[in-house]
Structure 1
C-alpha cells in the first residue's frame, strides 16, 4: 500500500473506515479478486482495521462514568476503567 493511501486511511472517520473495511472483507470472501489485487486490498483492510481500533480506543478514553456518594446520589465523574 502506498504512503498516500495510508495517509488517506488516517483521516477517515470511524463510520467511513468500517464501511470500507466491511466492503473489502466481502470482496475477499467472494474469492473473485485477482491475487495481486487481493494482497493490495488486504493491506488496505489492515490499515483500516488499525484506524478503527485507534478511533474506538480514543472514544473509550473519553467516556466517563458517574460516581455516586454513599446515598446513591451523583457526585461527579471519573475516567472509565479501561481494562
Structure 2
C-alpha cells in the first residue's frame, strides 16, 4: 500500500511492477504476484467561476470522471 500511495511514478505499469517486487522481496513463499487495476481517468473541474476557487494542479480537489473508453491494466511478476 505504501508503494501505491507514495510512488512518484511515470506510469501505472511501473508502480504495479514495483508493488510486485516489494511483495516478492517480503514473502519468499510467494511465487507470483498478479494485479489488475482499472484504467480510468479523472479531470480537474474549472471552479474559477465560483468565488474564484482555484481547482487546478496541486490545488485540485474536485475531479470529474472521463466519459470516454477505459480499460483494465494487468501485471504479473514471477520469480525466475
Could you tell me the TM-score, scaled by structure 1's length? 0.30
> Considering only CA atoms, is the larger Rg found in Structure 1 or Structure 2?
1
- Kindly indicate which of the two structures has a greater share of residues assigned to helix: 1
Could you tell me the TM-score, scaled by structure 2's length? 0.31
